[in-house]
Chains A and B, each alone.
Chain A
């Protein structure tokens, strides 16, 4: 991975002209203009979604861009046309329970993979990575049959309970972080008479807080956004739906319009965006953790 300028550049024979001052300014302007143009492209959709969410029913069916009247009532209306509160509650139950269960089960696994020496350790980690990469659809049929057998299809439990048995992606990320914690810390704790488990709880978990926070956030938002899982298991009773599922069906089932659909869309985005502004650093560090070095 070490790179050098392997061959001497022919250009070296040519004296390198320092860019004239005017060109640097131009370059500066070009860069920032490009960034602004991109920012408009990235923000544009969000702005138009917000504007449409505030239009009247009739205007949302026209091609006008700017609301003639500001219908803040749309946000109240979506709560009347659809059981949004139920969906939000279900989504929260799913996201929170799944996240807590995942943490409880995955931290010890990640710790063992990062720290313990045992037979089959390499294989175990390989299998974690493999299951992480596996599309969930591959084993969907038999797993569905298991849950159907216990009458849990039509609920969100088939999505929550498996989190008690660890989540490959989270295990992977946590392990990647835990291997970077110098051993001296845990050794010191052991010298102080801490057992392995106490060491994990007292020393390792506090040190791994950034990674744990990132993994928890990822899990939470994965569940918050999840569509495939609830589509498969939540069944057709609206009382068991999540926000994603309800949102996707908003246009067809609930006799509503683009403006209300966009209002609901904003509602689904809002918590994510709010949390992001408070936890930006955690997110970005977490994303970097997913990359390789």
Chain B
């Protein structure tokens, strides 16, 4: 109890005065190879938790140990952004941290939670522009700082069940998708849905606006960070299309159908089960179909695009796993060795990509002959390489902005908010107000 007392008293004194913990690290010293090394142990926090992913990741770390025998990596699994944030705040961050989402990149960079890696890249003689596909810069940099590097990427496309397609080709435009959906939908005798051609609502697993907006090339923000959602006509186009198709089903019927689905990540996923003919999903679905539903005969294609943008066909949404060195890391040099290995070593990236079926994130790894590909996986590699593919650019309120638009979308598709212009105007206001609150 005494200790607790002392702790509390100390808290009172330090809390209000010391609000930035940790120190900015000095310029990195990158040792020349051949120098002798002191053994060092670094802490590594990552988000992997599924067994197959953990196993694959351990193998990759074993490869690192072979190359850098003096560095011991102590991994901690299933870590998320909030934990990284509070550890840096508390002044005891790990040496290396990995995040599954790019949502916090702006925060990481702006508040200096992660160190700028540009000096490290320079010291190691790595030309990032030549190594990473261009789109990656958008989600690994903010404010001129490159505070994270990509370790594998995800892309989104259209999966279709060949049997349920009844010989039709995958749709290339939204009109085709709507027509095909109507054609392929099968209803039960009582009017409920048995098989849906495509579930258009934003609440369907991977239909969140962050993924579907790419179909029409819709913009999230203006260069100054304010919302572009109300002023970009593409959102309206997409949402009108979604609503029309939803109304064709009947929102209540569609919801009832959706609420009978099994879990997205389980074998009961409706695409695995043949309950939907077409679905938007990430490249990892290939691995899950192979594991959970090997009998499903499916194909993959890029997502359909707006009718008036045929030149954009082939584009998709790109995001990825990111990795960096938090401020206050105790062994930044060894940490950089690990980051460099995981983000630039072709062998490591290809091995991991093959194991968990993600898209490798460097140009050499993408071209590596060791990369396992089949037609269905190749689709996603092509989407990744497509110059029209986009990502969610780093934004200080990335999560909040997504939530706001998604809530508005649910209101709209359910018919509970009939005036789309007013609704999107409200979205703009909410996002802009929040921007003022958090960034001034």
Contacts and interface: CB of A to CB of B under 8 A. Distances in A.
Q: Does A touch B (CB under 8 Å) in the complex?
A: yes
Interface of A: 57-58, 61-62, 142, 145-146, 148-151, 153-154, 161, 164-165, 235-238, 251-252, 255-257
Contact of B4 (A62, A145, A161, A238): A161
B268 A151 contact: no
B83 interface: yes
Contacts of B268: 57-58, 61, 257
A146 B82 contact: no
B263 A154 contact: no
A248 B4 CA distance: 32
Given A161-B4, A236-B82, A238-B78, A142 B15 contact: yes
B139 to A, nearest CB: 21
Contacts, number: 64
A150 B79 contact: no
B266 A255 contact: yes
Contact of A251 (B49, B77, B79, B263): B263
A150 B266 CA distance: 39
Given A61-B262, A161-B4, A148 B78 contact: no
Contacts of B78: 236-238
A257 B263 contact: yes
A150 B263 contact: no
B144 interface: no
B82 A235 contact: yes
Given A57-B268, A149-B90, A237-B78, 12 more contacts: A57-B262, A61-B260, A142-B15, A145-B15, A148-B89, A148-B90, A150-B7, A150-B90, A153-B90, A235-B86, A237-B76, A255-B265
A253 to B, nearest CB: 8
Contact of A149 (B11, B263, B266): B11
Contacts of B90: 148-151, 153
Contact of A148 (B4, B86, B263, B265): B86
Contacts of B260: 61-62
Contacts of B41: none
Interface residues of B, number: 28
B418 to A, nearest CB: 31
A164 B3 CA distance: 12
Interface of B: 1, 4, 7-8, 11, 14-15, 49, 76-80, 82-83, 86-87, 89-90, 92, 260-263, 265-268
A250 to B, nearest CB: 10
Contacts of A251: 263
Contacts of A148: 86, 89-90
Nearest to A143: B11
Contacts of B261: 61
List of 6 A-B pairs having minimum Cβ-Cβ separation, nearest first: A236-B80, A255-B265, A255-B266, A146-B11, A151-B90, A148-B86
A116 to B, nearest CB: 21
Contacts of B83: 154, 235-237
B257 to A, nearest CB: 12
B92 A257 contact: no
A146 B16 CA distance: 11
A238 B263 contact: no
B313 to A, nearest CB: 33
Contacts of B86: 148, 153-154, 235
A16 B265 CA distance: 70
Given A57-B268, A61-B268, A151-B92, A236 B14 contact: no
Among B8, B14, B87, B263, chain A packs the most CB atoms within 10 A around the CB of B263
Contacts of A256: 263, 266
Given A150-B7, A164-B1, A237-B76, A255 B263 contact: yes
A97 to B, nearest CB: 14
A245 to B, nearest CB: 13
Contacts of B8: 146
B79 A236 contact: yes
21 contacts: A61-B262, A62-B260, A145-B15, A146-B8, A148-B90, A151-B87, A154-B87, A165-B1, A235-B82, A235-B83, A236-B78, A236-B80, A236-B83, A237-B78, A237-B79, A237-B83, A238-B49, A238-B78, A252-B263, A257-B263, A257-B266
A222 B53 CA distance: 36
Contacts of A61: 260-262, 268
Contacts of A161: 4
A154 B92 CA distance: 13
Nearest to A237: B78
Given A57-B262, A237-B83, A238-B78, A149 B14 contact: yes
Contacts of A145: 11, 15
A252 B265 CA distance: 8
B194 to A, nearest CB: 13
A230 B229 CA distance: 36
Contacts of B89: 148
Nearest to A144: B86
A73 to B, nearest CB: 16
A164 B1 CA distance: 7
Contacts of A236: 78-80, 82-83
Name, among A146, A238, A255, A257, the residue most crowded by chain B CB atoms within 10 Å (CB to CB): A255
